[in-house]
Chains A and B, each alone.
Chain A
């Protein structure tokens, strides 16, 4: 393997571990025999065309769906048949950004971001401070008391990111955070994902079908002094950012940026073109 190229991090206690996971909904299987792991500080980019089961995989990861077969371990605990009540403590350790943001329409940006804190009866002053910090992180300080209805699509995604990150989760799941957004806004969102990756070193799974976002994440790093992302030297990529690829519910690729651009798999090559 050429120098500077990455390999998937191997850790004896992965944050997430899928083992032969399958699921179907009144029809052919959506996912079949999916096996992969997410190690500490690792960012896994899940690629695949629309309708291939990427979002389903993400929802399986924090128990929003349960598999028909196989085993899923989250933070070392088997969750594939765990009760809803038992899952809540694990879910609060996980942040998830949904495809369209999934903000609560009837709540302000402040109450959306602080949703978990409000449920835990955290004092209002502390909530306000932490919401301001989270909004500062996504550069939306001015939206504190606005309702989601008055925000643009990109702003909603950034608020959703702030909501997912406010409690400093141990795992972040991004479900197509740039889907349907213009290239400039997409870059802003990817920069935030990168900031989270490089600043807090939180492991994550990012679902996307936009290759440019995936490659940007691999070939750039966030410079906290400059306050924006900068490219890595030519031929280098982030060693902890690796790829997974789904085709018709099966995991057909698991490897680094170098592996994916040099793969012989016909489907992956066509997807990259």
Chain B
């Protein structure tokens, strides 16, 4: 009995991964053939990018501040509190900026995509769209994925910048250290591979957020209860995948960039 359950679950997981892979492949391939819905792409850029700016700025600023608070006390034990800027800058740009932005935007947008598309499924709006001769993958999914990828890049840059500013605020006004020293150590420590690492990750996070959100939204079954279930699955899967992808990308990028 237990083996049956394990077998069934394993098959279900494999099937879901297969469906997701085909779904993501189709969504990407749609970009290379018309029709392309540029207006929908711009609308989604506004919803994902502009709409998420406030939460990304706030979370970036306070994360930078917390990093400065925590690192200053540890570094001062080694007489290296002047390296706070370097610590905050590198941590934000290489790791926390991309991951934090990905998780925050995932909570906001993967959920909204899953619930919006799920509601459209249960009210037959997706069928109506297909019946009217419009492919929902092209009209709804592809613009969301490419808007999410583009906007995550800019949101991550903003999160990095405001994280460093948050660290500076704590360093100057709470730890009473020199601001110029903070910025100069942050700047001096920064290398191009760090920036490349920090800007490659959001491309993957953006893809994961929109593709997972749309995937679960379009698989919705079971009425309004199903919409709730899809929304939870989308947020949980997207958040976990972002962190797993971050781990794998860090491994790959560190090994690739160390050879440069």
B-binding residues in A (CB < 8 A): 59, 62, 64, 84-85, 88-89, 91-92, 94, 96, 98-100, 102-105, 115-116, 119, 163
Contacts and interface: CB of A to CB of B under 8 A. Distances in A.
B128 A104 contact: yes
The CB with the most chain A CB atoms within 10 A, among B123, B124, B128, B131, is that of B131
A91 B125 CA distance: 15
Given A100-B123, A102-B123, A88 B133 contact: yes
A105 B129 CA distance: 12
A55 to B, nearest CB: 9
A104 B125 contact: yes
Nearest to B126: A102
Contact of B133 (A59, A100, A119): A119
20 contacts: A59-B127, A62-B131, A64-B127, A64-B130, A84-B130, A84-B135, A88-B133, A88-B135, A89-B133, A94-B131, A96-B131, A102-B128, A103-B125, A104-B129, A105-B123, A115-B134, A116-B134, A119-B132, A119-B133, A119-B134
Given A92-B133, A99-B124, A119-B134, 8 more contacts: A64-B127, A64-B130, A84-B135, A88-B133, A88-B135, A89-B133, A102-B124, A103-B125
Interface of B: 35, 123-125, 127-135
Contacts of A105: 123, 125
A85 B250 CA distance: 40
A105 B127 CA distance: 14
A119 B37 CA distance: 9
A85 B29 CA distance: 14
Contacts of A62: 131
A64 B178 CA distance: 66
A102 B128 CA distance: 6
A84 B138 CA distance: 12
A64 B133 CA distance: 11
A55 B125 CA distance: 15
B178 to A, nearest CB: 52
A88 B137 CA distance: 13
A141 to B, nearest CB: 22
A213 B174 CA distance: 77
Nearest to A63: B130
A100 B124 contact: yes
A91 B123 contact: no
A99 B128 CA distance: 11
B133 A116 contact: yes
Given A100-B124, A102-B124, A115 B135 contact: no
